[in-house]
Structure 1
Amino acid sequence: MFKLKYLKQIRRVVSLLVIISIVTFFLSSGSSFIQKAGDLFIGLQIFPALLKILAISSITAIIIVFLILLVTVLFGRVYCSSICPMGILQDVFSFISLKLRSKKKRRFKFSSDRKRILKYSILGITILFWIFGSLFLINFLDPYSNFGKITTTLIQPAYIYLNNFLAFSLERFEIYSVAPLEVKSLPLYVVLVSTFILLLVGFLSIWRGRLFCNTICPVGALLSVFSERSLFKISISESDCTMCGKCERVCKAECIDSNNKLIDHGRCVSCFNCFDSCSNNGFYYRFIGNDKKALNAHGEIDKNKRSFMLALSAGLISIPLLNKKSSFGIGTSKPGIIPTGTNLPITPPGSLSIENFTNHCIACYLCVSKCPKNVIVPSFFDYGLEGFMQPKLDFTKSYCNFDCVECSKVCPTGAVQAQKIEDKKLIQLGVAKFIVENCVVMVSRTDCGACSEHCPTKAVNMVPFEGLWLPEVNPDICIGCGACEYACPTSPYKAIFIESNEVHKKALPISDDKGPKKIQEQDFPF
């Protein structure tokens, strides 16, 4: 038997380091310690690691998943308390709410796990959707994915506005140490979804502590299966416990029954508040294996099996619905006299294909946050229901830099695989298509050439036409970067646009000695 007095303080320090470093990694670029720590902690998230194993058979991801499960089997859900950013965010909400309440209202209380069937049903259906090729529920329920959405669509815009306010304020005093940042253009519906998730998690945290973790979160449900059978469990000393109830009032998982001196280890998130609250040192870790006295041993295992089987059945019934594309997604067309091609979304370089991307992207928006040209934007149903809220390239907003591989460097799931700059320059995301009837040269009988001027591979050249110059596309060397589409001045529809390659191809290398042309930022596109 051993007593650990300072576990809560250690957990707080680790949690602060995790959430600060992850938020910093989302918001800014660089190679500082905090940036590297953020990259490391993102790599420790369990669903991204599982997806990375399936995408590229990552040995590192296999080791990470094994270590997470090993720690859970040994000591319980330490991951949920110290490594999961959404779990830490819930603790922040709980901490603030407790500080604002009167002392009499600063308390949780034990509740029986009646929501167990809901928890395991959500887990079962989520796994089934995944098995049948849909990440819809993972993208909507995974804690890291949701934290990424909140950070990218809510926290980052606020950070950019504050940064720019400071930059412009300092400029008035001729101080230029703070550079202004470009404001991201985010779809309203994505912001609303992120706001809903934040408000839901915040409400549940203030109301019932870790209720989200023990009711909705599939990661929490998965780890609870292992933590119920952990070898080293937090236990209550029969001799030292006075049943004062202090531990129960600070237990954010509401899993301590102080009257019966029992702990539901399936729900316990190892926050160690109980250690800190007990003045008699009545809590300790000890090796107990399958604790016959634990709450979850009162006939609940059979109920878990039944609920899990119900979840599997429900999932099987729901799967066929995913094969039907949303009316807002693939298959729709833009209104207009002259169509601008298919509506297949364009995926980032390194994603290999739309199918590969939708099968592995967790919609955490780290690529959206990191893209220096802001061409990667959140989508809604562009990939259909199975690709819910996964990002795409939007060439009406910007274009993909010829020598940029940032998205492939940061993707935690392998949906966008790491690329060398030399290889990325030949990845063909799509092919430029020219609609001569929309071109300003034809409509206004005036020269333009914006598309050719800004094409980095010279895939768009100007050819003589009735005393003017008209664009001509060489599809063999076009990489689908979108510079031509972004530069095109016609509206409401472009004269030149990128038609997505459902499976990425390899463009031919540029044959002449001049190489690609560098886009001039200062006067782009006019």
Structure 2
Amino acid sequence: MTEHRNVNSKKGSVNYKIRLAVQTVVLAAFICLLIFADPIAEKDGAVDIFLCMSPLSAIGAMVAAKEFIVRYWPALIVLATSVFFGRFFCGWICPLGTTLDITDSLLKKRRKNVSYKIYDGKRLKYYILAFLLLSLFIGHQMVGWLDPISIATNAYTIVIHPYFVSLINSFFGFLHEFYFISFVSDPVHAFLKEALFALQAPFFRGHFTFLVVISVIIFLGLFYKRYWCRNLCPLGALFALLSGWSMFKRVVGENICDSCDRCNVDCKMGAIDDTGMKTQAGECVLCMKCQAICHTSAVRFMRKQPTEQDEPINLTKRGFVTACISSAVVAPLLSLNFQKKKSQGNLGIIRPPGSIPEDKFRAKCIRCGECMRVCKTNGLHPTILEADLSGMWTPQLIPRIGYCAHDCVLCTRVCPSGAITRLSKEKKQRLAIGKARINRNRCIPWVGYARLPDLDKNWEDVSCGVCEEVCPVPTKAIHFNTYVHGNGKEIRRVYVREEACIGCGFCEKVCPVNGRSAIVVEGIQPQVIVKDMSTTEGGLFPVSIEQWKRKERTSVYAGKDKLFEYMNGGAEVYLSYSFIQVSTATYIKSNTDKSVKVNIWEFGNSDDAYGIYAKDRAGQGINIGNEAALYENYLWVWKDKYFISIEPYSGSISPDDVTFVGTSIVDNLPSGKVRLPVILGYLPEDGYVQRSSRYFHEKIILDNLYISDRFIEKNVFNLSEQTDAVVADYKSVKSRSPFKLLVVKYTDKHVAEESFNNFVELRESWGEKNLDTNGLHTFEDLKGRFSSIACVDNIIIATFFVETREKSELHISAAVSKAKAIQGND
């Protein structure tokens, strides 16, 4: 080897540094698109831009699906550019190539006994390309397994990002144990979790398979730099076939080169022979390293390369024939679907919402893992053999790990190939991707019902219903078949209304049964739109409110049965008032992604409408209807016998948006003479906390109001639909915390007296001392707080959690005086 000075070509050095900078920026952009995929996809950003750049994936998806996919337009640009610039994509853009450059530099010291001569192993990638293309034409998609962009996406999504997040969590979890460090480390940890969009470390089933794949690709670098790119990458082979027209080919000045062999040793692709003069044009990735290190400035990149400097790849007919025969033999084997045969034609796996029919889905899916990355609940995972070999690495929903969120459509926005079609939120929420099934041998209520003879001897509560509570379907796809025992106890046996089930898997996720869930969702093909289970009526809603347009029809749920269909889990609260019906509609703002959901609840009288309004209201009062409350971008309004709630549905909804829509909706409702419920007039003014009153009839509401440290199981106050009751908060200037005052009005004074006595007996049974003063009973609890109660005709008045006895009895006396005055006027 000729001695030389350590001097670089100035122009070559600049080109080399530019290439390094571009590589760094592109890899950073690739990683950022993966980390910030969720918010970018929410705004319809091009999260899949790198995947759409792969001509190999584009060819694979289009040929397999037998259609042109517009979304792959970046791949067409890359393909056209490669005609002029050869394999520039491999050296400047490919994220897997850049990753291998980094790992190869780390393996440099362990790479020994490397031959720098041109060798024939590089032709293997051409045979792999032929194998993949032929398999496409006979109807089998295998491109996704070997496309470098898909491999890089899976590596960072399924392996690197989760492992990195787990490492961070473990490290900061260790630091958290040290108080003198944790006050600094905990905020840093919180910031990193938010920055990495990983409040919990994502976990992917089958991640070890991908770890093995990427590890093998990396550690092949012990033999040659960029071993994958040199010998195995089918996308590189495709670019190499186009490099013959390249405008930038390596040319060496014969009279300038001193055959120092440095370019041959440093070439990451092994594209330069041991003389430094010849180059395999199809292997050169335009990294510019040879030009940068050439001390004689002999290397140039030009349109025309002397014939004697071109080193061709020695491809053989035998190799291509072997590749074609292998494809013809292997591809049909992928059709042996043992899982489908075992399940009598139904695979049972749950595909993401919007997935096209199974055969086309496998053909179009490029196994990139992008949908898995954006799944908010970490519910999407790669299949291993669940869909047999032909479906390996395609996405499936595993509800026990994560359900399909009702308001999420991110996976439908990031699929580059169209295997998952784009869906609106409204359509997605009505799309059934599976159907839930109850395993009665594991379901708690059904198992309890099966052992009814044992329960007769020793009764225990076997009702569950968690699945019903979380079901997001408006009419509920899970309902109860209630068995009432002779002792009055109930067993609520769950069942699935299959026609309403959308297969989201939320029920399977939350099932409290250990191990395999008692309710299991099975995927269906093809995915279908479930029918609307409600009746429709649009009279209460205007068709448009300036720029806000009402979406299609409105839904009405009238009566007890329909209300249970709409919101089974919380219907009892509304039924404790004089519920008539609830009407729902969605309004969309023109030319934006903004939409709001409007619910109009109708009751038998204005008092009950006020009661529901007062139960839900929060935030500041505003002047709409008879009374209204605004909290951020949520609005609650009471008008006559109606309670109106308006909430954001999609887009960035502002308080002004809901206020504007709410005002118009309320103005459209019929008006009448309205007053607050009479019983609110019994409340003393002194210390009253504004907007704290809760008006109700039955015990179910009182159970949700904190009036005791102990749960009062019995209906001590004899609350029923005939009683009127109100609870309000009070707080004086000197009080450390507020206390509560309850007023209950009965139709019969004997019931009031019985309720009064029940309360006195209850507090005495708790061991509290009864301080009786002329019919006013006061009790002191273990925390030194006082409760008082008095009975005036058909009214009882009670206080809870008062700091002093004097203040407790003072407020009772004030309320008694108001009650007597009102009763006297009546």
Picking from 57, 67, 76, the partner of 2:68 is 57
Aligned amino acid, residue 59 of structure 1: V
- Of 472-481 and 369-378, more deviation after overlay is shown by 472-481
1:227-259 deviation line (CA, Å, top 9, x unaligned)? 144343121122322211111111011111252
The yes-or-no answer on 1:419 pairing with 2:423 is yes
The yes-or-no answer on 1:17 pairing with 2:34 is no
Q: 1:3-42 residue pairs with structure 2 within 5 A?
A: 5-28=13-36, 29-31=38-40, 39-42=48-51
Counterpart secondary structure, 2:39: coil
1:129 and 2:135 equivalent?
Answer: yes
The 1-side partners of 2:429 and 2:217 are apart by 42
- Identity across matched positions, percent: 27
Matched to 2:77, the amino acid is L
Q: Which of residues 31, 56, 64 in structure 2 aligns to 1:47?
A: 56
Distance 1:378 1:59, change over 3 A: closer
Q: Which moved more, 1:114-123 or 1:452-461?
A: 114-123
CA contact (8 A) 1:455 1:517 kept: no
Question: Structure 1 residues 260, 25: CA separation in 2 closer, same or farther (over 3 Å shift)?
Answer: closer
Compared CA separation, residues 162 and 266, structure 1 to 2 (3 A): same
Question: Within 2, Cα distance between the matches of 1:442 and 1:113?
Answer: 69
* Equivalent position of 2:117 in the other structure: 111
Provide Cα deviations, 1:320-376, integer angstroms capped at 9, x if missing partner: 2111125xx44456xxxxx9x965211101112222321122222222222110110
User: 2:298 matched to which residue of 1?
Assistant: 282
CA contact (8 A) 2:264 2:270 kept: yes
Within the alignment, does 1:147 sit opposite 2:152 as a pair? yes
Alignment of 1:60-79 (within 5 A): 60-61=71-72, 63-79=73-89
The 8 Å contact of residues 477 and 510 in structure 1, kept in 2 or not, is answered as yes
Letter in 1 for 2:99: L
What are structure 2's unaligned runs of at least 5 residues?
A: 1-9, 450-461, 485-489, 535-554, 558-564, 571-826
- Once the two structures are TM-superposed, the CA of residue 386 in structure 1 deviates from its matched residue by 0.8
Greater shift in the superposed pair: 308-317 or 498-507: 308-317
1:355 and 2:359 aligned? yes
Distance in 2 between the 1:231 and 1:250 partners?
23
Task: State the SS of the aligned residue for 2:301.
Answer: strand
How many angstroms apart in 1 are the aligned matches of 2:331 and 2:310?
Answer: 36
AA partner of residue 56 (structure 2) = F
Per-residue CA deviations over 1:36-90 (Å, capped at 9, x if unaligned) read: 68643343233333455466733341x3222222222212100111221111111
Q: Is the Cα contact below 8 Å between 2:69 and 2:417 reproduced in 1?
A: no
Q: Measure the CA separation in 1 of the matches of 2:324 and 2:566.
A: 53
In structure 1, how many angstroms separate the alpha carbons of the residues matched to 2:413 and 2:60?
A: 16
Q: 1:406 aligned to 410, 422, 425, which one? A: 410
For 1:475, the aligned partner's letter is E
- Contact 2:350 / 2:434 at 8 angstroms: preserved in 1? yes
Instruction: Write the letter of the residue equivalent to 1:19.
Output: L
Distance apart, 1:389 and its partner CA: 2.0
Q: Once structures 1 and 2 are overlaid, which stretch shifts more, 500-509 or 461-470?
A: 461-470
> How far off its partner does 1:513 sit?
4.1
Contact 2:11 2:292 in 1 (8 A): no
How does the TM-score come out when normalised to structure 1?
Answer: 0.85
Secondary structure (helix, strand or coil) at the match of 1:270 reads: coil
In structure 1, the partner of 2:324 is 312
Query: Secondary structure of the equivalent of 1:262?
Result: coil
- Correspondent of 2:225 among 194, 205, 209: 209
Matched with 1:257 is: 273
- Letter of the aligned partner of 2:98 in structure 1? I
CA distance in 1, matches of 2:477, 2:215: 48
Select the residue among 445, 451, 474 that pairs with 1:441. 445
In the other structure, the counterpart of 1:193 is 209
How far did residue 214 of structure 1 move? 2.3
Match of 1:367 among 371, 374, 390: 371
Separation in 2, partners of 1:229, 1:348: 42
CA contact (8 A) 1:231 1:289 kept: no
Can you list the C-alpha shifts for 1:249-308, whole angstroms capped at 9, x where unaligned? 1101111125261100111122111111112221222222894641117xx4xx455532
Q: Which residue number corresponds to residue 523 of structure 1?
A: none
Match of 1:336 in 2: none
* Structure of greater relative contact order (alpha carbons < 8 Å, 6+ residues apart): 1
C-alpha distance in 2 between matches for 1:291 and 1:253: 21
> Which entry has the higher C-alpha Rg, 1 or 2?
2
Separation in structure 1 between the aligned mates of residue 353 and residue 25 of structure 2, nearest angstrom: 32
User: Could you tell me which residue of structure 2 aligns to residue 461 of structure 1?
Assistant: 479
> Is the contact made by 2:56 and 2:147 (CA closer than 8 Å) also made in structure 1?
yes
Aligned partners of 1:71, 1:113: CA distance in 2, in Å?
28
- 2:232 is paired with a residue of what secondary structure? coil
Question: d(CA) in 2 for partners of 1:423 and 1:216?
Answer: 43
Q: Cα–Cα, structure 1 residues 382 and 516, in superposed 2: closer, same or farther, change >3 Å?
A: farther
Q: Give the direction of change, closer, same or farther, for the CA distance of 1:421–1:57 in structure 2 (3 Å limit).
A: farther
Tell me how far 1:216 sits from its aligned partner: 1.2
Alpha-carbon distance in 2 for matches of 1:129, 1:519 = 52
Q: TM-score, normalised by structure 2?
A: 0.56
Whole-angstrom CA distance in 2 between matches of 1:287 and 1:500: 56
Q: Is the 8 A contact 2:434 2:524 kept in 1?
A: yes
Measured in 2, the distance between the counterparts of 1:355 and 1:276 equals 51
Report the Cα distance in structure 2 between the residues aligned to 1:49 and 1:57, rounded to whole angstroms.
9
AA aligned opposite 2:155? I
The equivalences for 1:156-305 within 5 A come to 156-165=161-170, 169=175, 172-173=182-183, 176=187, 177-178=190-191, 179=193, 181-187=199-205, 190-259=206-275, 261-288=277-304, 291=307, 293-296=309-312, 300=314, 303-304=315-316
Aligned to 1:507: 530
Structure 1 CA distance for aligned equivalents of residues 125 and 119 of structure 2: 10
For 1:46 and 1:215, the matched residues in 2 are separated by 19
User: Contact 1:330–1:382 at 8 Å: present in 2 too?
Assistant: no
What is the total number of aligned residue pairs between the two structures?
497
Aligned residues of 1:427 and 1:504 also touching (Cα < 8 A): yes
Identify if the C-alpha distance between structure 1 residues 7 and 295 changes in structure 2 by more than 3 Å, giving closer, same or farther: same
Aligned counterparts of 2:352 and 2:306: Cα–Cα separation in 1? 48
Residues 290 and 265 of structure 1, relative CA distance in 2, 3 Å threshold? same
C-alpha spacing 1:453/1:411, structure 2 compared with 1 (3 Å) = same
- Could you tell me which amino acid in structure 2 is paired with residue 97 of structure 1? L
Where does 1:333-348 land on structure 2 (aligned, <5 Å)? 343-348=347-352
2:40–2:46 CA contact under 8 A, matched in 1: no
AA at the equivalent of 1:420: S
Mapped to 2, the partners of 1:4 and 1:27 lie a distance apart of 35
* Distance of 1:38 and 1:246 partners within structure 2: 41
Residue aligned with 1:497, SS: strand
Please give the alpha-carbon distance, in whole angstroms, between the structure 1 residues aligned to 2:305 and 2:424: 49
Is residue 376 of structure 1 aligned with residue 399 of structure 2?
A: no
Counterpart for residue 524 of structure 1: none
Q: Secondary structure at the match of 2:312?
A: helix
Determine helix, strand or coil for the equivalent of 2:296.
coil
What does the per-residue CA deviation read over 1:455-501, in whole Å, with 9 as the maximum and x for residues that have no partner? 11111122323542222322222111011222223354433222211
* CA shift for structure 1 position 91: 0.8
